[in-house]
């Protein structure tokens, strides 16, 4: 069995660690690119959301590399993601691409089916080995998160951000290659050591919260590298959600009490008082949270036609009115262009800067 799985930012590192520890032979598709998008767009439904199209492109590229099985996550809505695998399976079948779909549905009380499905995947591994593999993958996800949050924090602060990015990429490669906890700790430790002496700029930074649909937040191809563009404009970006939180919530059913997004449900009220699928409620909650933390603005990203984020976006004007935090929303798909996105970001940052200056003046 040559198993592949879709890209979502640096998720591949954790999943690869898991599959290798389970004795499987993962085939990783090349990083999502223009070619991936074109492949996906050609065969996916026109109005499906962008992640589905990119997933499909990933699968077809992995197929060229010899993959015969696809590992996907499921879910029971109302966000479309839960039905992705079903539609993707039909598309692959009509294309005559013989790939089997293994879908990890969250165990909704039916442990017998869940166990059987997991067993078909893990083969002869003992449950103890499975547990160890999951734990190791989890540590990798946490290591990736540690690197990413450092990158987001430092990029706007350094004189040579490109140098930082090079160090980050090397650290990421080492995290991916690490075969045990010690290797992981070393990779993260060396990264922290390497970045310590880098020369810094002085002055106050603008701080922007990044909220929105999880795939678009985590996958740089889907968000057209929005974190990087903001960072290079001298803005510190804070994400509302990280990879390990998604893994915990989506794949472990929220078993681990780490980080957690529960408090965002509370701050979303009274603007959005119900679960609306995906991370719609968290988007609103995080916007209120960022406003409370004194952030200068919030950027929302979502795939074009994303239902939960549209609901969230609909109520954001009320948050802006009450909390005085400017927001900028991007709906992204294969039609988006990077120049347009950067122009809008620059205008937004200019506005935030002017706003901050005005406030300082009034304060004095």
Partner 1 sequence: MVKVGIPRGLLYYSYFPLWRAFFTEMGAEVVVSPETNKAVLDAGLRSALDETCLPVKLFFGHVLALIGSVDYLLVPRLISVEPKAYICPKFMGLPDMLRARIPNLPPLIDVDVDFSRGTGNWENVLSSMGRLLAGDRRLIRQACRSAQAAQSLFQEQLEKGWLLPEALNGAAGERGTERPAPPPPGSGRLNIALLGHAYNIYDEYISMNLIERLRSMGAQVSTADLVPQSVIDEQAGTLPKKLFWTLGKKMIGAAFAFCDIRQFDGMIYLSSFGCGPESLVGELLARWAKRRRDIPFMPLTIDEHTGAAGLVTRLEAFTDMLLRREKG
User: Do residues 111 and 143 lie in contact, with contact meaning Cβ atoms separated by under 8 Å?
Assistant: no
What's the CA angle centered on 205, arms 203 and 326, to 5 degrees? 145
User: Do residues 292 and 263 lie in contact, with contact meaning Cβ atoms separated by under 8 Å?
Assistant: no
Nearest distance from C-beta of residue 100 to partner 1, angstroms: 13
Nearest distance from C-beta of residue 168 to partner 1, angstroms: 34
Q: In the window 276-315, what residues touch partner 1 (CB under 8 A)? A: 276-278, 280, 304-308, 310-315
Of the candidate spans 23-31, 58-66, 138-146, 266-274, the one that interacts with partner 1 by CB under 8 A turns out to be 266-274
Residues near partner 1 (CB under 8 A), total: 45
Nearest distance from C-beta of residue 161 to partner 1, angstroms: 33
Q: Which residues contact 312 (CB under 8 A, 6 or more apart)?
A: 272, 276, 280, 281, 283, 284, 300
Nearest distance from C-beta of residue 272 to partner 1, angstroms: 5
CA of 259: how far to CAs of 240, 249, 255, 264, 275, in Å? 11, 10, 12, 11, 19
* Phi and psi angles of residue 298, each rounded to the nearest 5 degrees, phi first: -135, 135
Q: Which of 252, 270, 271, 254 is nearest to 262 (CA)?
A: 254
Pick the binder of partner 1 from 80, 140, 142, 229 (CB under 8 A): 80
Pick the binder of partner 1 from 87, 97, 256, 351 (CB under 8 A): 87
* Reduced DSSP (H G I as helix, E B as strand, rest coil) percent helix, strand, coil of the chain, to 5: 60, 10, 30
Interaction of residue 98 with partner 1, rule CB under 8 A? no
Interaction of residue 53 with partner 1, rule CB under 8 A? no
Pick the binder of partner 1 from 30, 31, 77, 260 (CB under 8 A): 77
Cα atoms in the 13 Å half-sphere on the side-chain side of 141: 24
Interaction of residue 111 with partner 1, rule CB under 8 A? no
Pick the binder of partner 1 from 1, 65, 131, 274 (CB under 8 A): 274
d(CA 279, CA 283): 6
Interaction of residue 71 with partner 1, rule CB under 8 A? no
**Interacting residues with partner 1 (CB under 8 A):** 45-49, 74, 76-80, 82-83, 85-87, 89-91, 94, 103, 271-278, 280, 304-308, 310-318, 331
């Amino acid at each position: 069995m040559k198993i592949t799985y879709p890209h979502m930012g640096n998720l591949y590192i954790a999943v690869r660690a898991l599959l290798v520890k389970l004795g499987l032979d993962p085939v990783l598709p090349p990083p999502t690119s223009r070619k991936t998008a074109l492949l996906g767009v050609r065969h996916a439904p026109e109005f499906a959301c962008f992640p589905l199209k990119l997933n499909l492109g990933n699968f077809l590229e992995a197929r060229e590399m010899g993959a015969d099985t696809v590992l996907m996550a499921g879910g029971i809505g109302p966000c479309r993601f839960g039905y992705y695998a079903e539609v993707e399976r039909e598309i692959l079948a009509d294309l005559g691409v013989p790939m089997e779909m293994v879908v990890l549905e969250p165990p909704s009380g039916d442990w017998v089916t869940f166990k059987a499905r997991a067993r078909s995947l893990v083969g002869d591994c003992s449950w103890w080995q499975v547990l160890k593999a999951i734990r190791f993958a989890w540590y990798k996800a946490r290591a990736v998160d540690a690197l990413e949050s450092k990158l987001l924090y430092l990029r706007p602060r350094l004189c040579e951000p490109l140098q930082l990015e090079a160090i980050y990429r090397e650290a990421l490669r080492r995290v991916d290659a690490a075969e045990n906890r010690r290797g992981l700790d070393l990779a993260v430790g060396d990264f922290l050591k390497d970045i310590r002496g880098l020369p810094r700029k002085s002055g106050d930074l603008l701080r922007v919260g990044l909220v929105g649909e999880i795939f678009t937040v985590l996958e740089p191809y889907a968000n057209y590298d929005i974190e990087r563009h903001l960072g290079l404009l001298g803005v510190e970006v804070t994400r509302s959600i990280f990879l390990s939180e998604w893994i915990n919530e989506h794949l472990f059913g929220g078993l681990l009490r780490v980080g957690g997004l529960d408090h965002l449900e509370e701050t979303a009220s009274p603007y959005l008082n119900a679960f609306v699928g995906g991370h719609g409620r968290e988007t609103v909650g995080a916007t209120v949270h960022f406003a409370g933390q004194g952030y200068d603005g919030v950027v929302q990203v979502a795939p074009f036609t994303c239902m939960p984020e549209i609901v969230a976006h609909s109520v954001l004007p009320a948050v802006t009115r009450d909390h005085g935090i400017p927001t900028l929303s991007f709906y992204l798909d294969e039609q988006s262009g990077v120049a347009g996105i950067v122009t809008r970001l620059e205008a937004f940052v200019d506005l935030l800067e002017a706003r901050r200056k005005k406030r300082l003046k009034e304060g004095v």
